[in-house]
Amino acid sequence: MQSQGRTIRSRAARLAVAIAVAAATFATVTNAQSQSAAEVIKARQQGLKSLGAAFKVIRDELRNASPDSAKIKAAAADITRAAGGIGTWFPAGTGPESGVKTDAKPEVWADAAGFAAEQETFIREADKWTHLGDSIDASAWKDAAASLGQSCKGCHDKYRVKKE
Ligand code: HEC
């Protein structure tokens, strides 16, 4: 009796696992659309977070009496990479209508031409870093940082939900 009870329980357990697996698989398939929006949004927020971190490294270094050009170069390379990616970070269907938490305003897609223009400005500013060479000309770096910062702000002002 005892062993039979165990058998039944373990069968029930196996069945429960099978049902859970099937349910999870089903959920994955049926949620494929919203899940991929969630993934895209998460990836772009991470990309933007690293962009913010890289930009901070540069601004902090430029405040030093003797900026660390290696650090600046590494951060500038991160920014260049972000500039290369930003064009793919906002596919249709990844706005607030996806139900996923995002600070991207619907205008990103409603005003696609305006948004594209902001992206281009940013890409152009980011590209300037690659032309600063190995010089540690702090004033050139500062000018580049200031105009790059303007390109972040220009886009955020119009297309990103304002933080209180
Ligand atoms: C073309 C438009 C655009 C440009 C240019 C841009 N951003 Fe953003 N940024 C956004 C949008 C839209 C969001 C909100 C994204 C979301 O929540 O899905 C955002 C979010 C962010 C975030 C928050 C990410 C998070 O969720 O943690 C940071 C940090 C950030 N941007 C930094 C920067 C910096 C620094 C620059 C310039 C070097 C920059 N951005 C340039 C549009 C832009």
For 127-150, write each residue's pLDDT tens digit.
Answer: 887 777 666 678 888 899 999 999
State which amino acid sits at residue 160: R
pLDDT of residue 30: 42
**What sign results for the dihedral spanned by CA atoms 93, 40, 122, 56?**
positive
Is 28's pLDDT higher than 80? Answer: no
Q: What is the pLDDT of residue 160?
A: 98
Please tell me if the CB atom of residue 156 comes closer than 6 angstroms to any atom of ligand 1: yes
Ligand 1 center to 142 CA (angstroms): 21
Which of 7-11, 70-74, 146-150 has the highest average model confidence (pLDDT)? 146-150
The confidence band for 5, taking pLDDT boundaries of 50, 70 and 90, is low
The span from the CA of 88 to the CA of 103, in Å, is 17
What's the pLDDT at 7? 55
**Cβ(49) to ligand 1 under 6 A?**
yes
Q: What is the pLDDT of residue 61?
A: 92
Q: What is the mean pLDDT of the chain?
A: 83
Confidence of residue 49 (pLDDT cuts 50, 70, 90): very high
69 Cα: distance to centroid of ligand 1 (angstroms): 25
CB burial readout 40-73, b (16+ within 10 A) else e = bbeebeebbeebeebbebbbebbeeeebebeebe
